[in-house]
Structure 1
């Protein structure tokens, strides 16, 4: 039986992703983005998220608003294919399509369920630095009622001419690398079958949906 995916870092595993492009095509490679532009992009995205989370709409509606913002902000296809790594080429076209759908839904649901309940959240920018030729790192500080502030570092690259989030780093740990390791472990422990990962992801989506009461 396939393993059930249990995120060791719920916050990391919850950070969601953008709308899907054509799965069969190569995703656009992230290019360097100006530090000021990257900071402005994250500032605007953060303000949108805070407004949605702190709004007066029912929790389910707030989660949908958060999901919509993230679909615009994050390079889902590039991140998703990076995480699957060498197994992407081993997957059939149908498995690739299923994986991308499940990948988006799992992370969007995780984020929406976790942050949709934290009204009173505040978000502020820290330092910004261009790290590599491909991305700029934007530091943010997130404050929640009755909780210690925490930092999130957003890696921003230019994808298709627009700034997009290509990774998130929390507690010094990369979302892309952590999730890649987790997914690879599920596949390798199940005879190298991508289908085993898809089964585990379906189970996770079902658990998240049940938790949301949907």
Structure 2
């Protein structure tokens, strides 16, 4: 059983990992030709945005959601993230259901970890050397979150698309985000079908939206 301190560090790292994946900063400041260049620029930009915004630090969820939508979503591949979390069940969903699942899963991730995002203060990111060939289409960028507690390994899985590099999965302390949700999604579908999973995500998002900030 992890201690409360370790759980808090894990949640913070997970939040940082998902929310620092990418940002829609200007092309002049981001080198999209390399995956590690993108991640490095994004981390600096998003952390600076959080630390300079008192409302985000207070846990203002609408402000955090706005930050994520503007600075993160454009450079992630939430469709692929959702598809991989669904596994074989993805093909069983209609196009309309797939669109719903992508939208609701994105909202779930944003709202689940919005509180942790507001706690970013003194954390820094240590980047590991990129191990990839120039023609690789999928790579892993390895980093370590340095804060008040123990260092936390945090890796990003990216794919090269016609629009540039996109993040679709992250690994925190040996656990990939997609794998963490795959069993939960499969259980919901086995019990209630695709529509049951859509409703589960919708209900969870409503609960999170109604909850008061704890920060």
Matches within 5 A, 1:167-206: 167-188=169-190, 190-191=191-192, 193-206=193-206
Q: Which runs of 4+ in 1 moved over 6 A?
A: none
Question: 2: CA distance between counterparts of 1:87 and 1:52?
Answer: 38
Higher RCO (Cα < 8 Å, 6 or more apart) = 1
Q: TM-score scaled by structure 1?
A: 0.74
Output the aligned Cα RMSD.
2.9
Deviation string, structure 1 residues 92-119 (Cα, Å, up to 9, x no partner): 3332222121011111222333212222
Question: 1: CA distance between counterparts of 2:207 and 2:146?
Answer: 28
Alpha-carbon contact 1:66-1:112 (below 8 Å) kept: no
Alpha-carbon contact 2:125-2:146 (below 8 Å) kept: yes
1:46 is aligned to: 43
Matches within 5 A, 1:1-214: 10=11, 12=14, 15=18, 37-59=34-56, 60=60, 61-62=63-64, 64-130=66-132, 133-144=136-147, 146-188=148-190, 190-191=191-192, 193-212=193-212
Alpha-carbon offset, residue 67 of structure 1? 4.2
After superposition, the Cα gap between the structure-2 partners of 1:165 and 1:12, relative to the gap in structure 1 and judged at 3 Å, is: same
Alpha-carbon offset, residue 199 of structure 1? 1.7
Alpha-carbon contact 2:47-2:120 (below 8 Å) kept: no
For structure 1, the residue ranges without an aligned partner over 5 or more in a row are 1-8, 19-35
Deviation string, structure 1 residues 79-100 (Cα, Å, up to 9, x no partner): 1122222222222333222212
Q: What is the aligned length?
A: 187
Question: 2: CA distance between counterparts of 1:38 and 1:158?
Answer: 8
Question: 1: CA distance between counterparts of 2:185 and 2:200?
Answer: 9
Alpha-carbon offset, residue 149 of structure 1? 2.7
Q: TM-score scaled by structure 2?
A: 0.74
Question: 1: CA distance between counterparts of 2:122 and 2:211?
Answer: 22
Question: 2: CA distance between counterparts of 1:168 and 1:157?
Answer: 12
Structure 2 residue matching 1:137: 3-state secondary structure: strand
